[in-house]
């Protein structure tokens, strides 16, 4: 299952991260920032989250190409 938690909104990450069994955290951020480096680990520690924290989604090498492709498709659709 997938659970969503936020640093500054409800549902809070510290609540969402209280899961039975194996789990991992995939931060949905564009880059490494203070939320990823400080707030996220603190909230997960508060929840007793034992799983791995993956790199933020936006740091994946494929993301710039995905964004560029989406922009190109949108621009072409506007022209057509």
Which CATH number goes with the domain that contains 19?
3.40.50.1400
Tell me how far apart the alpha carbons of residues 62 and 3 are, in angstroms, rounded to a whole number.
Answer: 24
Looking only at Cα atoms, what is the longest distance across the chain?
A: 53
> Is residue 1 a part of any domain in this protein?
no
Domain that holds residue 30: 13-79
Position 61 scores a pLDDT of: 95
> Is residue 42 a part of any domain in this protein?
yes
Which residues of the chain fall short of a pLDDT of 50?
none
Whole-structure pTM value: 0.76
Q: Could you tell me if 27 and 56 are in contact, meaning their C-beta atoms sit under 8 angstroms apart?
A: yes
> Is residue 6 a part of any domain in this protein?
no
Position 72 scores a pLDDT of: 96
In the chain, how many domains are there? 1
Tell me how far apart the alpha carbons of residues 45 and 30 are, in angstroms, rounded to a whole number.
Answer: 22
> Is residue 64 a part of any domain in this protein?
yes
């Amino acid at each position: 299952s997938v659970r969503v938690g936020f640093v500054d909104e409800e549902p809070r990450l510290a609540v969402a991260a209280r899961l039975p069994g194996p789990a991992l955290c995939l931060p949905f951020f564009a880059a490494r920032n203070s939320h990823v480096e400080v707030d996220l680990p603190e909230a997960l520690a508060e929840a007793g989250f034992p799983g791995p924290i993956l790199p933020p989604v936006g740091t994946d090498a494929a993301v710039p190409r995905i964004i560029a492709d989406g922009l190109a498709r949108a621009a072409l659709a506007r022209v057509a």
